[in-house]
Amino acid sequence: MGTFPFAIVINPPACILESSVPSHPTIIDVASEAGVSKSTVSRVLRGDGSSVREETREKVWAAVKRLGYEHNAVASSLRTNRTYTVMLAIPDITNPFWPEVARGVQDAVEEHGYAVVLSNSDWDVERERRFLRLAGRNRFDAIAINPTGVTSAELHATRIPTVILGVREDYRDFDMVGSDSYGGTIQALEHLYSLGHRRIALIRGRHRGARGRARLAAYEEFLSAHDLPQDPALSVERPFDLAGGAEAMRALLALDTPPTAVLAANDILAIGAMQAAHQAGLDIPADLSIVGMDDIYSASTTNPPLTTLAKAKYEIGRQAARFLLDRIEGKAPDVPRRQVIACQLIERSSTAPPKVTK
């Protein structure tokens, strides 16, 4: 068993030696133990110790360890009006896209002494609103959110610095960081066109919230640019999950003239589409080419490996965190910032020239 920094004495004498280590050490105790000022200890504990000599920082951390000091976040928030807590609100925790984004946010804010609270709305706008109220009640310092349905006005009403994850035209007065889904869609379609595909379908994701139409707009622009017919039956919208991808694929295969290639709005839809195509007895890519979007880990393990558009997931998270930290520190410009990160085509084995029919 370990030893305790104090002793319990029955019927103690009038004079007793007390432990030199306080039972609930404060930042003042740490400063005294290290032989430095309270403000120096505060800077070191916040991770803002760039102006503190390495030798002094080591003394502070040694004193923290000896005393068993634990930072009192509640007391600190009353003094500084900060809780050093950031909320990350996402729509679907089961989507493998989000862990890398979350890691980027976490890594960036932790460098400045902040912690991240993850909130999963599960595409439920009322749940999302509860998270915003929670952030307000607990005085969170910032919010990074991929909105399901809350409005720009609702986000402003929180009075909490907020950054939008994704490029969203309905949130123009907020900082935002996201992928160039429009440009990525064009890139994927041009890849299929270069292979010889002319009847190309689009599987779009559907959810409860209103979202941008970047992929559909890009698809329609691509068809127009190449003088291809605008066939509404080739643009199918289903829920953003495996079952939705499979259902969309079955609908496309039931057409009198099925597509020779399919672009799905994300890899999960694409994998669901691949499963349905396999079940229908089709060979990928000999009978049908499929492209996804996001480059989640599973995309490289499908049979065959999935051609997809890679998004800079980790960098999206880190950049969103940088924007938030600027807002918290009052260093951000008055005009909202928008960073759009290009997608990269990852060619694997799920695409090939269309089968030649006699």
Query: What's the per-residue H, E or C state across the chain?
Result: CCCCCCCCCCCCCCCCCCCCCCCCCCHHHHHHHHCCCHHHHHHHHHCCCCCCCHHHHHHHHHHHHHHCCCCCHHHHHHHHCCCCEEEEEECCCCCCHHHHHHHHHHHHHHCCCCEEEEEECCCCHHHHHHHHHHHHHCCCCEEEECCCCCCHHHHHHCCCCEEEECCCHHHCCCEEEEECHHHHHHHHHHHHHHCCCCCEEEEEEECCCCCCCHHHHHHHHHHHHCCCCCCHHHEEEEECCHHHHHHHHHHHHCCCCCCCEEEECCHHHHHHHHHHHHHCCCCCCCCCEEEEEECCHHHHCCCCCCEEEECCHHHHHHHHHHHHHHHHHCCCCCCCCEEEECCEEECCCCCCCCCCCC
pLDDT attached to residue 56? 86
Using CA atoms, how far apart are residues 191 and 309, in angstroms rounded to an integer? 11
pLDDT attached to residue 101? 95
- Chain centroid to Cα 251, Å, comes to 31
In this prediction the pTM is: 0.74
Q: Are 342 and 310 in contact (CB under 8 A)?
A: no
- The CATH class of the 1-71 domain is mainly alpha
Q: CA dihedral defined by 24, 29, 33, 39, rounded to 10 degrees? A: 140
Is 3.30.1490.20 the CATH classification of the domain at 181-310?
no
pLDDT attached to residue 4? 36
pLDDT attached to residue 3? 38
Question: One fold for both 83-179+313-340 and 181-310?
Answer: yes
Residues 6+ apart with CB under 8 A from 162: 142, 143, 144, 145, 155, 174, 175, 324
**pLDDT one-digit tens code per residue, 80-122:** 567 889 999 999 888 889 999 999 999 999 888 889 999 999 8
pLDDT attached to residue 113? 84
Using CA atoms, how far apart are residues 126 and 140, in angstroms rounded to an integer? 19
Select from 199, 175, 214, 302 the least CA-distant residue to 260: 199
pLDDT greater than 80 at residue 310: yes
Q: Which residue's structure tokens are 């039972």?
A: 23
pLDDT greater than 90 at residue 353: yes
pLDDT attached to residue 73? 53
Residues 6+ apart with CB under 8 A from 103: 314, 317
pLDDT attached to residue 326? 92
pLDDT attached to residue 252? 96
Mean pLDDT across 2-23:
43
pLDDT attached to residue 5? 36
pLDDT greater than 90 at residue 357: no
pLDDT attached to residue 235? 94
pLDDT greater than 80 at residue 276: yes
Give the CATH fold of the 83-179+313-340 domain: Rossmann fold (3.40.50)
Strand partners for 264: 203
pLDDT attached to residue 358? 52
Query: By mean pLDDT, which of 76-80, 185-189, 330-334 is the weakest?
Result: 76-80
**pLDDT one-digit tens code per residue, 213-270:** 888 999 999 999 999 998 999 999 888 889 999 999 999 999 999 999 999 999 999 9
pLDDT greater than 70 at residue 125: yes
pLDDT attached to residue 13? 41
Longest CA span, the chain: 107
How would residue 2 be classed by pLDDT, with cut points 50, 70 and 90?
Answer: very low
Listed by start position, the domains of the chain span 1-71, 83-179+313-340, 181-310
pLDDT attached to residue 50? 65
Mean pLDDT across 283-294:
95
**pLDDT one-digit tens code per residue, 37-90:** 888 887 787 666 567 888 888 888 888 888 777 665 545 544 556 788 999 999
Phi, psi of 334 (to 5 degrees): -70, -35
pLDDT greater than 60 at residue 208: no
pLDDT greater than 90 at residue 338: yes
Residues 6+ apart with CB under 8 A from 204: 215, 216, 235, 236, 237, 238, 265
pLDDT greater than 70 at residue 9: no
Mean pLDDT across 280-290:
95
Using CA atoms, how far apart are residues 239 and 124, in angstroms rounded to an integer? 14
Residue scoring higher pLDDT (303 or 212): 303
Q: CA dihedral defined by 269, 274, 280, 285, rounded to 10 degrees? A: 140
pLDDT greater than 70 at residue 286: yes
Using CA atoms, how far apart are residues 234 and 252, in angstroms rounded to an integer? 7
pLDDT attached to residue 76? 52
Give the chain's mean pLDDT: 85
Q: Are 211 and 266 in contact (CB under 8 A)?
A: no
pLDDT attached to residue 30? 82
